[in-house]
A and B are shown apart, each in its own frame.
Chain A
Amino acid sequence: ELTQEQKDRLQFVMDSYSKNRIPQDIATKLVLQDENNTDENFVFLTDMATSHVQVLVEFTKKLPGFQTLDHEDQIALLKGSAVEAMFLRSAELFNRKLLEWNTDLLEERIRNSGISNDYINPMFNFYKSVGELKMTKEEYAVLTAVVILTPDRQYIKDKESVEKLQEPFLDILEKLCKIHHPKNPQQFARLLGRLTELRTFSHHHTEMLLSWRVN
Chain B
Amino acid sequence: PASNLGLEDIIRKALMGNYDD
Contact = CB atoms under 8 A, between A and B. Distances in A.
Partners in one complex: yes
Interface in B1-21: 2-3, 5, 7-8, 10-12, 14-15, 19
A79 B14 contact: no
Interface centre among B8, B12, B15 (most CB of A within 10 A): B15
A184 to B, nearest CB: 36
B3 A50 contact: yes
B11 A75 contact: yes
B2 A46 contact: yes
Contact of B12 (A43, A58, A61, A75): A75
Contact of B3 (A47, A54, A75): A47
Contacts, number: 35
Given A61-B15, A74-B15, A75-B15, A53 B3 contact: no
A169 B14 CA distance: 24
**Dominant secondary structure at the A interface:** helix
B10 A50 contact: yes
A61 B12 CA distance: 12
Nearest to B10: A53
Interface of B: 2-3, 5, 7-8, 10-12, 14-15, 19
Q: Give 6 closest A-B pairs by Cβ, nearest first.
A: A57-B14, A46-B3, A50-B2, A78-B11, A54-B14, A53-B10
